[in-house]
Amino acid sequence: MLRKIFVLTLFIVLLFGCAPAVSSTPTFAPTSAPSVTLAPTTATVPPTPTAITLTDGLGRTMTLSHPAQRIVSMAPSNTEILFAIGAGAQVVGRDEFSDYPAQVKSLPSVGGSMGNYSNEAIVALKPDLVLAAEINTPDQVKSIEALGLTVYYLKNPATLEDMYKNLQIVAQLSGHESDAENLITSLKARVAAVDAKLAGVTHKPIVFYEVDATDPGKPYTYGPGTFGDALIAEAGGINFSTAAGIKDQYPQVGLEQIVKTNPAIIILGDSNYGGTADALKARAGWGTIDAIKNGMIFPFDDNLVSRPGPRLVDGLELLAKLIHPELFQ
């Protein structure tokens, strides 16, 4: 009996001891699918921004390492340009007279009344660009630069073509070149539409544009070399200063000279500051002026003429409609 148990035990040991080992990890037979060779991977390196180097209106060379992301505007025209080209979100501060578009009023003001700006307020906004204009003096530009800030001085344009170039400059500084090109294309199309309407005009009425009548006996008007003069001419009129032979850019003119020149149309650029048709009618001798007799006195938003930005085209369209309403019905 013991011998049978021993033999049986030996048989079991030999049987399982010679069996192949079982792995806890399953093995799979190779498949016939082709192998895939992967291309070596490389880390994506962002492109190095191209530095922006421009010469400003004061002849100074200015360089930005990349488009400005925090901009302080020192003039209403600059602010309007920035928002028009799509850079409004990058504006962190503005002068106190910037009021268009409406959302700029919520931005911090750096001053500007009577030409006085707060350098402390400008520094506190940590701008990587301060955009100045001709209402800012070279000394103001120097004082801001002395604080370690980058300042670009945007020269006033003399023509609409110059204004388009200013849009391109600000677009380069802020990284909105394509937006500016689209805007310029639209503006040029609108100007061309006005020009086409006026192409056959032969009668051009004399237009007196009142800028400021703080002294009602000697109001200011636009003379040659101003956008007021240029836009009146392009809108199919003759500017009063041209008809009167005035050479100053912003002349004060006596009431007698206005009566003598006899404008057919009067534009009240000071209507936002109290200029009214009734006030003109009360002026001595003005009852004989054709514009007064025929009721051709129109209030006007002077910002559309005095701010050298994209809304100059708005000003041109409105002036053309006032001077030649028969063509825009």
| 171: CATH | 3.40.50.1980
Which pLDDT score is estimated for 46? 54
Which pLDDT score is estimated for 329? 85
Are residues 160 and 263 both part of a single domain?
no
Note the Cα 15 to chain centre separation in Å.
92
DSSP 3-state of 151: strand
Domain boundary among 132, 161, 190: 190
Are residues 64 and 171 both part of a single domain?
yes
Are residues 316 and 205 both part of a single domain?
yes
Q: Which residues of the chain, if any, have pLDDT below 50? A: 1-43
Are residues 171 and 216 both part of a single domain?
no
Which pLDDT score is estimated for 50? 82
Are residues 214 and 122 both part of a single domain?
no
Are residues 158 and 267 both part of a single domain?
no
In a domain? residue 8: no
In a domain? residue 97: yes
Are residues 57 and 182 both part of a single domain?
yes
Are residues 172 and 284 both part of a single domain?
no
Are residues 160 and 270 both part of a single domain?
no
Domain count for the chain, please give it: 2
Which pLDDT score is estimated for 210? 98
Domain boundary among 134, 155, 190: 190
Domain housing 299: 199-327
CA of 7: how far to CAs of 1, 16, 44, 135, 154, in Å?
10, 15, 73, 116, 109
Are residues 128 and 166 both part of a single domain?
yes
Which pLDDT score is estimated for 5? 38
Would you list the DSSP string of 37-82? PPPPP----PPPPPPEEEE-TTS-EEEESS--SSEEE-SHHHHHHH
Which pLDDT score is estimated for 262? 98
In a domain? residue 38: no
In the numeric block, the tokens 């001891």 are attached to: 17
Beta sheet of 71-73, edge-to-edge order:
91-94, 71-73, 129-133, 151-154
Are residues 224 and 176 both part of a single domain?
no
In a domain? residue 35: no
In a domain? residue 106: yes
Domain boundary among 165, 190, 215: 190
In a domain? residue 40: no
In a domain? residue 9: no
Radius of gyration in angstroms for the set of CA atoms belonging to the chain, rounded to a whole number: 37
Which pLDDT score is estimated for 254? 95
In a domain? residue 299: yes
Question: Considering Cα of 219, then 222, then 223, then 226, what sign does the dihedral take?
Answer: positive
Are residues 287 and 312 both part of a single domain?
yes
